[in-house]
Structure 1
Amino acid sequence: MRTNPRRRQFLRGAAGFTLAIPFLESLQSERHARAEPLGPPKRFVAMTTAHGAIWGSNMYPGDGMLTDQMNYKGRTIKSGALVPQLNGSTASLSPVLTADASKLTAAIAAKLNVVRGLDIPFFIGHHGGGHLGNFAASDEDLPFGKIPTIDQIMAWSPSFYSDLATILMRSMNVGTGVFSYLGEYQISWGWSNPQTQSGSVDGLALEHSSMSLFEKIFVPPDETGEPERPLIVDRVLEDYNRMRSGNKRLSTSDRQRLDDHLARLDELERKLNVQVSCGDITPPTKDSSDVYDSNGYFLDAQKHGEYWSLFNDVIVAAFACDTSRIATMEALEQFSAFAGDWHNDVAHQGHLADGDAQETLWTAQQLFFEGVFLDLVNKLDAVQEADGSTLLDNTLVQWTQESGPLALYSLSHPVITAGAAGNFFRTGSYVDYRNMNTPFESDLPTNEVVHTGILYQQWLSNVLQAMGVPTSEFDAGGGGYGVMHVDPYWADLYPSAVMQGLNEGLPFLKA
């Protein structure tokens, strides 16, 4: 650990802005310093890409990397160190997990995890909510309702945000958000009244402009010396209480709408009173919206990477300034020049043995890994905290795809992570939780057998706990996070041991 951490680190982003960040704890507000636990705060980023359907041989490292094993939940699970293979200027863990050697260094690989064998144990179809636990946000008619996603559990948890003195946005939700065949594709879902955890569960609005997001996470200090304005909530509270309590015609749903509205006003008032001090910032000069609107965007993978890199810069700035600690990123771009019907002619042909559609799919995911995932990971790792760790060390970045190797099925749902979440997770490992004695019938080539694993709900519970959220805040008694449901005709693939202990720390991953 460094004994003389530098007072400021300089972050230069793709948008052309430079951020000078003070990290000394003495520069925090007194209230913030008292309330925060020792050490830097934890942060969470969820990246998602559409479709998936990447064969295991293209997505994961080879079995030769799995050097350790143990018995767990009725199967032999395996793990091994992530060691990039160099070929000239390219470093590779698998065909998808390949990048320029300057981006996928041995040091960065030591901060990654590649997790195989995490299952959503029913047919989920096309979905946005499944990535973070709202499995009902799908195009399937599932026999249960919507629940908030884990990012929103964190965002409104007093354990995650023990003090909001500097927080301008509880969570940043970015993306374009529309699939032609699915309509609105949202991964982040929360209560309409999150303060009381009541009302409807709705998809959160998405930010499409990186410059607009920057303006929300950085507000210059008020140097006018003008007196404080009266609270917005105080102005309307008397009228609110009179209408809510005295109007007998007010329906239950309208009463909930009034409660939701006042809660939003209360949160707005809180943000207006936030005092931020995070050094000198030169605003970005380029906006993601301009890239998105540029000629040829939809078939230009380089522009797709540039679009998301601009958001990465803002996310790093928000984390460094401590004006937000959560980000979700919905990347629906196909990262390919394919000009036909991507959905039907590529994504749903990835199982064909000729491998043509499969190559188009995995090549697109590789471009996302290198241009977006590793872009953010390296930027987070370049910013040092007061204790000598980096932003990445205290963050969990997870990348998931809509499906596992079978389109529409989230069996062996790939989970690629970076960061230790403040030493909660061990890193630098390829981990395989599959049960090699329970094959799943599929139409993939014979050398691409799908095997069932353990439940994704256990992973989501581990993520919440990694962020400091105790199980008492999210577990209604069934264990894990997310509705417990198994398709009846899959029941034999998931023995009782798999359904139990869903709040346990995951072997090979929990530090």
Structure 2
Amino acid sequence: MKPLSRRTFLRGASGVALALPFLDAMRPTRARADTAAASPRRVMFVFQANGDETARRFAADGETSFELGEFLSPLDPYREDLIFLNNLHKRFYDLPEDARADNHQQGGSSLAPWKSGTGSFPIGGTESTIGYVEGPSADHAIGGLVMEADERVAHRHLVFRVGTKWNDIWNTHAHAGPVGQQNPIPPETDPYAAYARIFAFTPDDEAAQREVLRRLAKRQSALDLVREEGNSLLTRLGAEDRAKVQQHLESIRDVERALQTGNGAATCVQTPLGEKLNPYDDKNHVIMGELFFKISALAFACDLTRVVNFNWSGNTSNRVYSNLGLSEGHHDISHNSDASAFADIRKIHKHLWQQNTKLYDILKNTSDGDGTLWDHTLVVHWNELGQGDTHSIHDTMVVLAGKAHDHFRRGRLLDFKGKRSFADMLVSCFHYMGFEDMTSFGEDVLNMQGALPLT
């Protein structure tokens, strides 16, 4: 039997089309007999802001016998699938003085380790101004290489941010380049609109997107528009593929339910679409983050993209975490060095790490080829700073999560003591994604020795 196209969609009325997960029926006949057929590799960059408290990251520091500190403790159940990269150096001070911003600004562009160009943004603590970095971010570059290798992938990358709608040098983390040009990429900040755009078949099909949004506002499912074709497809699939499709459609329905109902305790606002949660209200950041996580997993499962750049906020985020009993903004707190401020910083980061584990569980519960998305995804957690009150950059931490095709040796704490760079870590991400000819990424002075020793 002829295999299904890897880009098979369920199409319905009003132009709405929903992508399918990877199915055994999509493999060539010979490949179906090969149970070890590889699933695509994916990478998801996850950002949280304002540094942490470096001395309290770990209670013990053995490579495999390490103990997590208070604010990292939510990760303990997942430690066998994590690698903690401690004390990576960002090396910005090796750039010419007129080609670097302050550590918040330059640090927020860490995925794009290039010099800054000219511009009108004030540099903190000086009377000088600066512009965006002059080169692409890793998510954009990796996504481009993926699309060159497989033209069936629809989106180079997806870029999401929870919270603020506006964009500037303090909260834009994705860049298109090319090298030598400033080209910041505005993220999607509204999960309602992102869902309609990504899953309404084509990015430029505005009529289909409007129909999806209209149905969400009316508490209806876009799945109803493709149900007849979906039922027809199910009769042509084997039992295992039927189960995958049904699980996938239920996952999409779950996202729709969340978009439609939100959380009864959260603030709702009136919009042209009817009542929905306000994506820009600090009180709703947990719900918006989880929605973006679910949308990311669906996009991965449909192979619509293999790269996601997700941000809990911009750098210098001053979100007020009232859900934690705080009344002062995050960035303001991070500038203080007293014990109570550090206690609040630990509280904020513990909260965000708890939210990040929801992503892990979503990936673990999403079937993908011969396993789950957790088996076939690398999640890269990063921050623009090491510690907020000192604006340090020599002691930044990255956490790698996910089984990632067993590409890395996991369950370890590696302390690089400032002798390897954040750019070196990005080279390791290129290698995981299959682009092992990449020996450096970004300005030469921001690179040190190439890919990190992680395998």
After TM superposition, is the score higher than 0.5?
yes
Q: What residue number does 1:209 align with?
A: 190
Q: What residue number does 2:113 align with?
A: 133
Contact 2:279 2:288 in 1 (8 A): no
Task: Tell me the distance in 1 between the aligned counterparts of 2:79 and 2:283.
Answer: 24
Q: Residue 142 of structure 2 aligns to which amino acid in structure 1? A: M
Shift of 1:183: 5.6
Q: Please, which of 409, 418, 436 is the counterpart of residue 426 of structure 1?
A: 409
Q: What residue number does 1:116 align with?
A: 86
What is the SS of the residue equivalent to 1:464? helix
Aligned-residue sequence identity (percent) comes to: 18
Q: What residue number does 2:171 align with?
A: 185
What is the SS of the residue equivalent to 2:156? coil
- Summarize the Cα distance change of 1:182–1:21 in structure 2 as closer, same or farther, 3 Å threshold: closer
What is the SS of the residue equivalent to 1:470? coil
Residue correspondence of structure 1 range 316-395 to structure 2 within 5 A: 316-332=297-313, 334=319, 336-337=321-322, 338-340=326-328, 342-344=330-332, 346-349=333-336, 352=337, 354-371=338-355, 373-387=356-370, 389-395=371-377
Q: Please, which of 472, 476, 481 is the counterpart of residue 441 of structure 2?
A: 481
Task: Tell me the distance in 1 between the aligned counterparts of 2:293 and 2:58.
Answer: 27
Q: What residue number does 1:97 align with?
A: 72
Please give the per-residue CA displacement for 1:49-105, whole angstroms capped at 9, x wherever unaligned: 1211x22232x2223x41xxxxxxxxxxxx22556xxxxxxxxx2211123xxx852
Q: Are 1:467 and 2:433 an aligned pair?
A: yes
Contact 2:282 2:321 in 1 (8 A): yes
- Summarize the Cα distance change of 1:56–1:217 in structure 2 as closer, same or farther, 3 Å threshold: same
Task: Tell me the distance in 2 between the aligned counterparts of 1:382 and 1:184.
Answer: 35
Contact 1:47 1:328 in 2 (8 A): yes
Residue correspondence of structure 1 range 30-45 to structure 2 within 5 A: 38-45=37-44
Please give the per-residue CA displacement for 1:253-274, whole angstroms capped at 9, x wherever unaligned: xxxxxxxxxxxxxxxxxxxxxx
Contact 1:132 1:460 in 2 (8 A): no
Shift of 1:218: 2.3
Contact 2:290 2:359 in 1 (8 A): yes
- Summarize the Cα distance change of 1:104–1:294 in structure 2 as closer, same or farther, 3 Å threshold: farther
Task: Tell me the distance in 1 between the aligned counterparts of 2:167 and 2:156.
Answer: 31
Shift of 1:177: 6.9
- Summarize the Cα distance change of 1:219–1:122 in structure 2 as closer, same or farther, 3 Å threshold: closer
Shift of 1:111: 0.7
Contact 2:189 2:279 in 1 (8 A): no
Q: What residue number does 1:456 align with?
A: 422
Task: Tell me the distance in 1 between the aligned counterparts of 2:426 and 2:344.
Answer: 30
Contact 2:50 2:385 in 1 (8 A): yes
- Summarize the Cα distance change of 1:369–1:46 in structure 2 as closer, same or farther, 3 Å threshold: same
Q: What residue number does 2:149 align with?
A: 162
Q: What residue number does 2:394 align with?
A: 411
Q: What residue number does 1:175 align with?
A: 161
Q: Residue 143 of structure 2 aligns to which amino acid in structure 1? A: A
Contact 1:131 1:187 in 2 (8 A): yes
Shift of 1:132: 4.4
- Summarize the Cα distance change of 1:456–1:183 in structure 2 as closer, same or farther, 3 Å threshold: closer
Q: What residue number does 1:61 align with?
A: 58
What is the SS of the residue equivalent to 1:80? coil
TM-score, with length taken from structure 2: 0.67
- Summarize the Cα distance change of 1:214–1:168 in structure 2 as closer, same or farther, 3 Å threshold: farther
- Summarize the Cα distance change of 1:27–1:182 in structure 2 as closer, same or farther, 3 Å threshold: closer
Contact 2:22 2:368 in 1 (8 A): yes
The runs of 5 or more residues in structure 2 that have no matched partner are 1-17, 94-101, 124-128, 203-240, 270-276
- Summarize the Cα distance change of 1:328–1:293 in structure 2 as closer, same or farther, 3 Å threshold: farther
Task: Tell me the distance in 2 between the aligned counterparts of 1:390 and 1:173.
Answer: 22
Shift of 1:26: 2.8
- Summarize the Cα distance change of 1:424–1:360 in structure 2 as closer, same or farther, 3 Å threshold: same
Task: Tell me the distance in 2 between the aligned counterparts of 1:121 and 1:327.
Answer: 25
Contact 2:135 2:180 in 1 (8 A): no
- Summarize the Cα distance change of 1:22–1:330 in structure 2 as closer, same or farther, 3 Å threshold: closer
Task: Tell me the distance in 2 between the aligned counterparts of 1:416 and 1:182.
Answer: 26
Shift of 1:355: 1.0
Contact 1:421 1:467 in 2 (8 A): no
What is the SS of the residue equivalent to 1:431? strand
Q: Please, which of 375, 378, 403 is the counterpart of residue 396 of structure 1?
A: 378
What is the SS of the residue equivalent to 1:343? helix
Task: Tell me the distance in 2 between the aligned counterparts of 1:303 and 1:145.
Answer: 31
- Summarize the Cα distance change of 1:207–1:341 in structure 2 as closer, same or farther, 3 Å threshold: closer
How big is the alpha-carbon RMSD for the aligned residues of Structure 1 and Structure 2? 3.8
Task: Tell me the distance in 1 between the aligned counterparts of 2:262 and 2:360.
Answer: 24
Q: What residue number does 2:273 align with?
A: none
What is the SS of the residue equivalent to 1:57? helix
Task: Tell me the distance in 2 between the aligned counterparts of 1:391 and 1:175.
Answer: 21
Residue correspondence of structure 1 range 14-53 to structure 2 within 5 A: 23-28=22-27, 38-52=37-51
What is the SS of the residue equivalent to 1:45? strand
Shift of 1:300: 8.4
Shift of 1:21: 6.3
Contact 1:218 1:323 in 2 (8 A): no
Task: Tell me the distance in 2 between the aligned counterparts of 1:168 and 1:430.
Answer: 36
Flag the structure with larger Rg: 1
Q: Residue 187 of structure 1 aligns to which amino acid in structure 2? A: H
Q: What residue number does 1:250 align with?
A: none
Please give the per-residue CA displacement for 1:90-128, whole angstroms capped at 9, x wherever unaligned: xxx2211123xxx852xx221111110101123542222
Task: Tell me the distance in 2 between the aligned counterparts of 1:455 and 1:426.
Answer: 19
Q: Residue 126 of structure 1 aligns to which amino acid in structure 2? A: H
Q: What residue number does 1:287 align with?
A: 259
Please give the per-residue CA displacement for 1:342-401, whole angstroms capped at 9, x wherever unaligned: 433x1211xx2x311111112111111101x111112112223332x3212221111111
